Amino acid sequence: MKTHKSFAGIVEGYVYFVKINTLEKNNFALDPFGRQLDAHKQVAEWKKIAKNIHVSLKHQPNAWKTTVLREIAAIGATEWYVRFKQPTNFYSDHSIQLFYKK
């Protein structure tokens, strides 16, 4: 099975943590929207068979990167997908959904 380097970044106000081995590339969010469509379809199919958990970000608005990476390591995930709105001074998610496979 082909593996890719994981991608973690902020694109157009959304935070991404992506490592899915069946994708052509994990940083697909950096492409123009029209070129992302196939990857979004593949991610949707992958999410149907992946496990998921909710990760609490409450009271940790500035530590979201560390929290997500710590949770990925704790569950022993080999593949994962997380997408959520970037926290600001006025908005922050209290929890996010982490899709993963071991």
The position carrying tokens 């496990």 is 51
State residue 35's pLDDT score. 92
Which amino acid, residue 37?
A: L
State residue 3's pLDDT score. 61
What's this model's pTM, rounded to 2 decimal places?
A: 0.88
Q: What is the pLDDT along the chain (102 residues), one digit of tens a residue?
A: 556 789 999 999 999 999 999 998 999 999 999 999 999 999 999 999 999 999 988 776 677 888 899 999 999 999 999 999 887 777 777 788 999 999
| 41 burial type by CB count under 10 A (0-12 exposed, 13-18 middle, 19+ buried) | exposed
State residue 62's pLDDT score. 72
Cα(48)–Cα(41) distance, integer angstroms: 11
